[in-house]
A = this chain, B = another copy of it.
Amino acid sequence: MHARSDTAAIDTAVIEAFLGYGTRRASEVIHGNFIRRMAPLGLRPVGFTVLALTGRNPGITASQLCQILDLQSPNLVGLVKQLQDRALIERRPHPTDGRAMGLHLTVGGRQLLEQASALAQAADEEASTLLTPDERQTLARLLHKIYG
């Protein structure tokens, strides 16, 4: 459908009062920007966060990523495998835990992360043109009080 029906007279205040609705809709807007801009790099939101966390925390494990990003480990396996196949990350034996593998960025992974970070920043800014820098910082702080 190519919807063009008139919605001007519809009262939406009843759902916009909910933070669950506002966070979801705002998330989808930025998510859409992100997907579109990051498509040429072959990165999706979770893949980007994995690259970013690995870049800042060399040797991080899949288990730690799952805890921080609230992922189920079976869903991370394939993603890590893809990043490894693309030679963006390496898996090395964990120095003290024989069960675990430490993740590290390759040179190519670090280069891609730099490009991706700029695009992620652009996706953020595209969605928040109506916000002042102060408001953006306030928004990030209030959101962290919910998920942190």
Contacts and interface: CB of A to CB of B under 8 A. Distances in A.
Contacts of A80: none
B28 A147 contact: yes
A67 B30 CA distance: 18
- Contact-residue size bin, chain A (C-beta under 8 Å from the other chain): 35 or more
Given A45-B20, A49-B15, A124-B20, A26 B143 contact: yes
Given A19-B136, A19-B139, A23-B30, A11 B57 contact: yes
Interface in A120-136: 120-121, 123-124, 127-128, 130-131, 135-136
Contact of A52 (B6, B15, B138): B15
A14 B53 contact: yes
Contact of A30 (B12, B19, B131): B19
A148 B148 CA distance: 25
Interface stretch (A68-76, A85-93, A104-112): A68-76
Contacts of A3: 63-64, 66-67, 73
B11 A56 contact: yes
